[in-house]
Amino acid sequence: MRLLVVLLVVIRTIGCGTEPAPPVTPGNAQASIGTNLSEVHPWEENIPFVDAMKTSDEWRSDQGPVDVDAHGWVRSLAPGQSAYTVMFGDFAHGYPDGEYIVRYDGEGTITYDGGARKVDAKSVTGRDVISVDHTRDQIVLTIRATNPSNYIRNISVLMPGGACSNDGARLCHESSDCTTGATCVSFERIYKTQIFYPPFLASLKPYSTIRFMAWMRPNDNWLDPNGPTYPHWSGRVLPDDARYSGARGVPLEVMVALANRLHSNPWFTIDYLANDADVTAFATYVRDHLAPDLKVYIEHSNEVWNPEYPQHQYAVSQAYAEGINTSDEFESALRYHSKRSVEIAEIFEQVFGGTSRLVRVMGSQAYNPWVSQTLLDYGDALQHTDALGIAPYVGSTIEYGDYGRLMGMTLDQLFTEVSTHYFDDAMNAITGSEAVASARGVGLVAYEAGQQLVQWNAPQYALSDPNSLASKFVAMNRDPRMKQLYLNYFNAWKAAGGGLAMHYYAVGSYTRFGSWGALEYLGEPRSSAPKYDALLTFSASNPPWW
């Protein structure tokens, strides 16, 4: 019995997770391409974190609402109630099999279903070992009972394996997976310092800048009376919260940690409902914790010019409330967007003591130069703007009326059509925007870039029909010819006077809603990912020219 107690103590002590994370060697200093990230949620085919709990779904119960504390942990259960969450839902390419470690505090009962089975012989109180087979479905974690006086909390579901001691971006399961002399350090020993899953880090190493728009959730309609309320700084998501997949997004602390880990410049989209105090606190944290030699890109929300987003409607209402409106609602929204962009820039300027570390972006519409003119010419925007930001996608001008004609084309014909007609549309948008920017002495950047081949009205099962337009668009994104289309696109962007271009986005599965990922899944070979291959090829041949 005494030996068992000693062994349990050793297990709990060794597995505390606080050992220093292995280093990551930056590989992006001369990269002229940046990337957006995909959203954090259990159905996005990406694994950002060593702790899979951070991407889990919200707690659900068939017996009524779930009582949770401020950090999202189940605080109590009603009689007969249980609460469950899922991880890795509907991953088309699967997710890692093996033994996951589940660590938790508190008293109660946790069970595992779907792709997970508890290994009783290896589990002790506060530390479960689960054997996972992705072919059996997603991981389902259920709290069956909990002590309200010491409820189950601080659950971590640790991925199998670890990181090489000399390379935090290299996944290992044993030391032979690492280079000579390096050892495999288990995630259980380092999960509190090695926050990010090594293949995720590896997928981002080629990029000089990371746009955190999807992690910051600026497109959420906080004004929906049936939806969540904007949390402001005091209610923001925190690193110790149960998950980062909710409406509040990913903690700023985690975003800054990723930028520092990769030594990549962060690009932040400040929420349209953030007040001056929120922005000041945000800027202060970035100033105090980001590596001092990194640039900080700042942008007011995301696509405020776009009437499809709630931030546009909010901008309209604020323009009228502040008396800066015109007779046209769209122009009124642009005025407010310009004004608020300047106000946010001024706060960052004050906090940072100048502009040397800042890139102040005015987000605009690529295909309408008048929008850019209006934004840059309003008030003193030019005194607080470093770059005009656009999203000159190839395919943005595909309209619903084009679908029938395009659907009747072969893949060869589609490549010809996209590489000429729609490619030229994108180039015209770039040259028109560059003319506006250069005439006003500001740079031109792409906050999003790449292809936008989407059949927006595709039915639910469109991809099961290889002759549907949605299926053909997916096939184009996987076709080797997409590499040359991308190389032509970014070379033309450079020739037209564009600067940093942020591809949309790094990793994500291809669906009827678009084929956005440069990689479809973590670990995809470069040889089967033509867009990723093109981005790396272009960066290698074109160090920053701006």
Give percent above pLDDT 70 in the chain: 97
| Cα–Cα distance for residue pair 300/283, rounded to 1 Å | 13
Band (pLDDT 50/70/90 cuts) for residue 9 is very low
Is 90 exceeded by the pLDDT of residue 119? yes
The residue type at 111: T
Structural domains present in the chain: 1-29+165-192 (no CATH), 51-158 (2.60.40), 198-541 (3.20.20.80)
**Among 9-23, 203-217, 314-328, whose mean pLDDT is lowest?**
9-23
Query: Strand runs (DSSP E) across 196-352, as ranges?
Result: 209-211, 265-270, 296-300
Is 60 exceeded by the pLDDT of residue 6? no
User: 345-358: buried (b, 16+ CB within 10 Å) or exposed (e) per residue?
Assistant: bbbbbebbeeeebb
Sign of the alpha-carbon torsion through 435, 438, 440, 443: positive
Q: What is the pLDDT of residue 16?
A: 78
Is 90 exceeded by the pLDDT of residue 346? yes
φ, ψ for residue 49, nearest 5 deg:
-120, 150
Mean pLDDT of 393-415: 97
394 has which bridge partners? Answer: 451
pTM: 0.96
Band (pLDDT 50/70/90 cuts) for residue 7 is very low
Q: What is the pLDDT of residue 2?
A: 41
Q: What is the pLDDT of residue 13?
A: 41
Band (pLDDT 50/70/90 cuts) for residue 15 is low
User: For every residue of 54-111, which 3-state class applies, written as one string?
Assistant: HHCCCCECCCCCCEECCCCCEEECCCCCCEEEEECCCCCCCCCCEEEEEEEECCEEEE
Band (pLDDT 50/70/90 cuts) for residue 245 is very high
Each residue's pLDDT tens digit, 141-157: 999 999 999 999 999 99
Each residue's pLDDT tens digit, 256-266: 999 999 999 99
From edge to edge, which strands make up the β-sheet containing 108-114? 83-87, 139-146, 108-114
Q: Decide: 7 and 521 in contact? Cβ < 8 Å.
A: no
| Cα–Cα distance for residue pair 426/284, rounded to 1 Å | 38
Helices and strands per DSSP (H, E), number in the chain? 15, 20
Each residue's pLDDT tens digit, 59-115: 999 999 999 999 999 999 999 999 999 999 989 899 999 999 999 999 999 999 999
**Could you give the angle at which helices 423-439 and 369-377 cross, rounded to 10 degrees?**
20
Q: Decide: 59 and 53 in contact? Cβ < 8 Å.
A: no
What contacts 24+ positions apart, CB below 8 Å, involve 464-472? 467/407, 468/407, 469/403, 469/406, 469/407, 470/512, 472/406, 472/407, 472/409, 472/411, 472/414
**Among 9-13, 416-420, 482-486, whose mean pLDDT is lowest?**
9-13
Average pLDDT, the chain: 95
Mean pLDDT of 332-345: 98
Sign of the alpha-carbon torsion through 7, 8, 11, 17: negative
Nearest to 287 by CA among 239, 353, 346: 353
Q: What is the pLDDT of residue 418?
A: 98
Each residue's pLDDT tens digit, 179-224: 989 999 999 999 999 999 999 999 999 999 999 999 999 999 999 9
